[in-house]
Amino acid sequence: MRNKEQLTGFLLDHAAQRTVSFHMPGHKGSGLYRRFGYDGFLNQMMDCDITEIPGADNLFQPEGVLRSTMDRYRRLYDSRESYLLVNGSSCGLVAAVMASVPAGGRLILARNCHKAVYNALSLAGAQPVYAFPEMLPEYGITGEIRPEEVRRCVAAAPDVSAVLIPSPNYYGICSDISAIAEIVHDAGMTLIVDQAHGAHLKFFDENRRADGRCLMAAENLGADIVINSIHKTLAAFTEAALCNVMSDRVDSDELEDALQKMESTSPSYLLMASLDINADLLEKHGGELVDDWRKELELFYDRAVSIDGLRVMTHSRLDDSKINLDMSRRGLNGYELEQELRKRGILAELITGNLVMCMSGIGNRRNDYERLYEALREIAEPENAAAPACDRAEPENAAARACDEDETERRNGMAVEAPPWPDQSFVLHPVPRKRVRTPIDDAAGRVCAQAIIPYPPGIPVICPGEEITEEIVTYAKTLRALGQNVMGIDGDGCVLVGV
């Protein structure tokens, strides 16, 4: 099982490396469960991997043990109903759209929605009306969806029944949900918030409330359906998520019907148990865990300002559990900074342009933040640091090895400017019915027939029906040259365009 070329071997090798995780999932490994007494579950996981035996309840007609987990979440999020999701927020988003938009209808959605929402459009047979996020040119990323932009869309498409926006976005920037909810509700529409990255916000808001700061959790701000990836920032296993219904604008029968269509008929009891353990943790230790998390973040940010050449992203609506770092003043773009961190055993979540996003979670501990701080200091101020870990003759771990390979590739002439998020004001055409594969070099001026999606973040840079620009061609090629996974471009460098 130690063959690293095979999946299980790779995973065991990774687990043995004890890298510092500033990426998903939020539990960051078994330490959290063990610390709070859930090791019995970890030790007997295989024996807990059951199906609907007597007494185990049924996810799609919950009346027993699953109902009681749902009730815990209803209390934690103050929701009318909380549905456990075993196919991630992805299935919750699809179900929410199917339940809120009639077949063939239209949906107002933020243009920077995740791929899962675009899947929802296609599965629900719905047409998009785009609300565009503001751009943050100083960081080269998308920011919040402004209430005025939602107002513009609502006025332009009054027949629409629902609006869907991500908040926070991948970088942690939240939108003004309370103002948006007012506009949406005045127009008689339903507000769905993709809070995949903000399951913890409801609990962070307790701190914010105490300090008199504005709240961020969509559950506190008037959204009707809020979908949370518990696995991304809290303590459930990957794919375990939650759909919170907050108002009677939602047709629960429709939503339940759509959820059971989108989820496995054999939902994993291990995933659902991890949701139960997460609820237990939050009920019994949530205050302490969240306080510690906030304190560690504050300490990290306080110390990071002193690192010469490091810019830490700030924004009035930033969920600062996402740590966005920029070391371009030291001549490092995001890819180079990420590599430097990886050499030091620290794995980040996302790179865009010069930014590296390190995603903290409930399972991170002081040592992780200290390692991140020390690594950044070492990278920014090598004169003050001991020899960097990358100078090792023999890389010890998978992350460092992969990093050395990347480094070699880069030295072999791959060093490329890391581009900011490209302009999204496309010329629009009908979505092509007939499609053909064409080399991306010849694609400018053609109509996109299959979205091009850098992953992560999983947000399409161009969608079907939009006219491909030179900027998009350059952007997609550059990301590939930098080694990023770009969906929608095949191994031969071709994309699908309309005929």
Ligand X SMILES: Cc1ncc(COP(=O)(O)O)c(C=O)c1O
How far is 166 from 193, CA to CA, in rounded Å?
A: 6
- Per-residue x/- track, 448-487, ligand X (CB under 6 A): ---------xx-----------------------------
26 binds ligand X (CB under 6 A): no
166 binds ligand X (CB under 6 A): yes
DSSP secondary structure letter of residue 242: E
Least Cβ distance, residue 408 to ligand X (angstroms):
30
Exactly one of 229, 244, 268, 360 binds ligand X (CB under 6 A); which one? Answer: 229
- Token pair in block for residue 224: 């009707």
Exactly one of 59, 99, 116, 362 binds ligand X (CB under 6 A); which one? Answer: 116
Q: 367 vs 23, 41, 312, CA distance in Å?
A: 16, 26, 20
Count the residues of the shown chain that bind ligand X, applying the rule CB under 6 A: 14
Give 3-state DSSP helix, strand, coil % of the chain, rounded to 5.
40, 15, 40
Choose among 173, 487, 482: nearest CA to 333: 482
Q: Which stretch binds ligand X (CB under 6 A): 71-79, 191-199, 343-351, 390-398?
A: 191-199
141 binds ligand X (CB under 6 A): no
Residue closer to ligand X (CB basis): 229 or 244: 229
Non-local (6+) Cβ contacts of 374 within 8 A are none
Strands 162-166 and 190-194: parallel
170 binds ligand X (CB under 6 A): yes
For 89, what's the count of Cα atoms within 13 Å in the CB-facing half-sphere?
Answer: 24
Residue closer to ligand X (CB basis): 168 or 345: 168
Least Cβ distance, residue 307 to ligand X (angstroms):
28
Amino acid at 39: D
Residue closer to ligand X (CB basis): 403 or 463: 463
Least Cβ distance, residue 379 to ligand X (angstroms):
27
Residues 68-97 that bind ligand X (CB under 6 A): 88-90
Residue closer to ligand X (CB basis): 177 or 403: 177
- Per-residue x/- track, 195-224, ligand X (CB under 6 A): -xx---------------------------
Residue closer to ligand X (CB basis): 164 or 289: 164
Least Cβ distance, residue 241 to ligand X (angstroms):
5
Phi then psi for residue 228, to 5 deg, are -120, 130
How far is 144 from 207, CA to CA, in rounded Å?
A: 22
Q: Is 53 helix (H, G, I), strand (E, B) or coil?
A: coil
Alpha helices in 143-248 (DSSP H): 147-156, 177-186, 201-210, 230-233
Least Cβ distance, residue 76 to ligand X (angstroms):
18
Measured at CB, which residue is nearest to ligand X? 88
Least Cβ distance, residue 486 to ligand X (angstroms):
16
Residue closer to ligand X (CB basis): 116 or 479: 116
Q: 470 vs 211, 439, 446, CA distance in Å?
A: 48, 13, 10
Exactly one of 27, 72, 114, 344 binds ligand X (CB under 6 A); which one? Answer: 114
- Tokens 């009920």 -> residue: 283
Residue closer to ligand X (CB basis): 196 or 380: 196
Residue closer to ligand X (CB basis): 170 or 335: 170
Residue 223, burial from CB neighbour count under 10 angstroms (0-12, 13-18, 19+)? buried
Contact 234, 278 (CB under 8 A): yes
Residues 230-259 that bind ligand X (CB under 6 A): 241
Residue closer to ligand X (CB basis): 352 or 469: 352
How far is 81 from 99, CA to CA, in rounded Å?
A: 15
The residues of the shown chain that bind ligand X, judged by CB under 6 A, are 88-90, 114, 116, 166, 170, 194, 196-197, 229, 241, 457-458
